[in-house]
Amino acid sequence: MSDWYRDFANSGFGTTITKQLGLPRPGRLRRYEPGTPLLPGPAVVGSAGEGRLRDTVAAVLKDAGVTVQSPVTADGATDGEKPSAVILDATGLTAPGDLAAAHDFLAPAVKRLRATGRVIVLADPPADASSPAQAAARQALDGLVRSIGKELREGSTANLIYVPAGAEASLASPLRFFLSGRSAYVDGQAVTLSVAELPAGADADKPLAGKVAVVTGAARGIGAAIAKVMARDGAHVVAVDIPAAGDKLAEVANEIGGTAFQLDITADDAPERLIEHLRERHGGVDVVVHNAGITRDKLLVNMDAARWNSVMAVNLQAQLDITQALLDADGVLKPDARVVCVSSQSGIAGNRGQTNYAASKAGVIGMVRAWAPAFAERKATINAVAPGFIVTEMTAKMPLGTREVGSRLNSLQQGGLPVDVAETIAWLSQPGSAGVNGQTVRVCGQSLLGA
């Protein structure tokens, strides 16, 4: 589905019109293509206070072949290639006064940022601060980054990564993700890392090589996109969907060289059957993506029990039951397993007519947060992604006006694509993402809803 308005706004005539009328000017997003460099241009790295992440950042950039530029001062030279990324190491903040250094570094650098650029701020978690002043300074970054996200144009994004002491090694995978085209529609987000043991030597092109990944709801839409991205990244995908969707499911499985497993995940024996299948056919599972979801919209006062119960059963209870059964089954869930659950913007912001859906999707966020410590103990992780306005067959059926307005209510001024959600899930599934646990990452282009 093409974004006709974005294409128009980026045409010669459209540029003039939209500028003069003050209309939204959505930029083309930079999406990941295998074999392309991490960044199209150089990166500028700076710090506020005495940062402790310079080495980690330098290693990631060097590994990816990215040229690093020195910080540009307000009166400094503006020659040289424009940067594709601006990275601020703010782990040295001690008090709000230090934030001036952040401003000094960011202002000239962001001014020179090219289209589809990335602004990434690294900081310590406010909760770990040694004084209220330090906590205030760290928390201030949240407002700063979110505001930068809203000021950036032409498909550029700004995100914040909180790196606790000792979790430096955990930074590499999230830093690569936020710099890359994989995070095209992730904007204005804050992710908090945790201390984790990182596996050695991952294949950058095939980070999921040798892994078995289950994707529920894989017959179409976002689920099919997840299956495809997982397969592209090297995983063998066990594509799961209800038996009635089996023909589409088989098409997806055949396209990606995976296997189709028809299963109603709400059936009483569904966890048992899934586990049996994984044990018999694959000797276990490395990645589980709980994507299957349904909507049964009605205003609360008009909602019958069937609508409420079916949405809860598919969107939340099945995720709980299958995950619990996997944890209980000996040797099926691999020690470094990744579980990724699909939540929704509705679960964060609420949505009229979606009390059931929003409740189920908010429940998912609570679930991953609560399960994270238990997963960390087995060197596994559990996270959620919350898609915003994603262009699918479902949104294509919305009335034009509703769809156009809905898709523009975010900093990137456009709807995301199923592949944007899929890329985020595939990233969370990587062995190198061991230090991202219990998080809910929004894939919403910094939506105005629930922000």
Partner 1 sequence: MASNTKPATRKAAIVGGNRIPFARSNSKYAQASNQDMLTATLDGLIARFGLQGKALGEVVAGAVLKHSRDFNLTRESVLGSKLSATTPAYDVQQACGTGLEAALLVANKIALGQIESGIAGGVDTTSDAPLAVNDDLRRVLISLNNAKTVQDRLKALGGFRPGMLAPEIPRNAEPRTGLAMGDHAAITAKQWQIGREEQDELTVRSHHNLAAAYDRGFFDDLVTPFLGLARDQNLRPDSSVEKLAKLAPVFGKGDGATMTAGNSTPLSDGASAVLLASDEWAADQGLPVLAHLVDGQTAAVDYVHGGEGLLMAPVYAMPVMLARNGLTLQDFDFYEIHEAFASTVLATLKAWEDPAFCKEKLGLDAPLGSIDRAKLNVNGSSLAAGHPFAATGGRIVASLAKMLHEAGPGKRGLISICAAGGQGVVAILES
Which residues lie near partner 1 (CB under 8 A)? 236, 243-247, 249-251, 253-254, 257-264, 267, 269, 273, 280-283
Whether 357 sits among the annotated catalytic residues: the reply is yes
Nearest-10 crossing angle of helices 305-312, 355-377: 20
* Residues found in the chain: 451
**Closest CB 237 distance from partner 1, rounded Å:** 10
Which one, 137 or 245, has the nearer CB to partner 1?
245
Distances (CA, A) of 284 to 91, 213, 246, 274: 40, 10, 23, 10
Output the six-digit token pair for 295: 């909507």
Task: Give the span between the Cα atoms of 14 and 25, in whole angstroms.
Answer: 9
Determine contact, residues 375/434, Cβ cutoff 8 Å.
no
Structure tokens at 343: 């939540």
> Cβ(139)–Cβ(126) under 8 Å?
yes
Q: How far is the CB of 245 from partner 1 (least distance, A)?
A: 7
Q: How far is the CB of 207 from partner 1 (least distance, A)?
A: 21
What b/e string do you get for 110-139 counting C-beta neighbours within 10 Å, with b at 16 or more? bebbbbbbbbbbbbbbbeebeeeebbebbb
CB of 241 to partner 1, least distance (A): 11
**Which CB atom, from 113 or from 218, has the smaller least distance to partner 1?**
218
Q: Quick one: 281 or 378, whose CB is closer to partner 1?
A: 281
Give the DSSP H/E element, type plus range, for residue 23.
none
Asked whether the beta carbons of 120 and 153 are under 8 A apart, the reply is no
Of 75 and 247, nearer to partner 1 (C-beta) is 247
Considering 5, 32, 162, 357, which one is annotated as catalytic?
357
Provide the minimum distance between the beta carbon of 267 and partner 1 in the complex, in angstroms, as a whole number: 6
The DSSP secondary-structure symbol of 199 reads P
Nearest to partner 1 of 201, 243 (CB atom):
243
Residues taking part in catalysis: 357
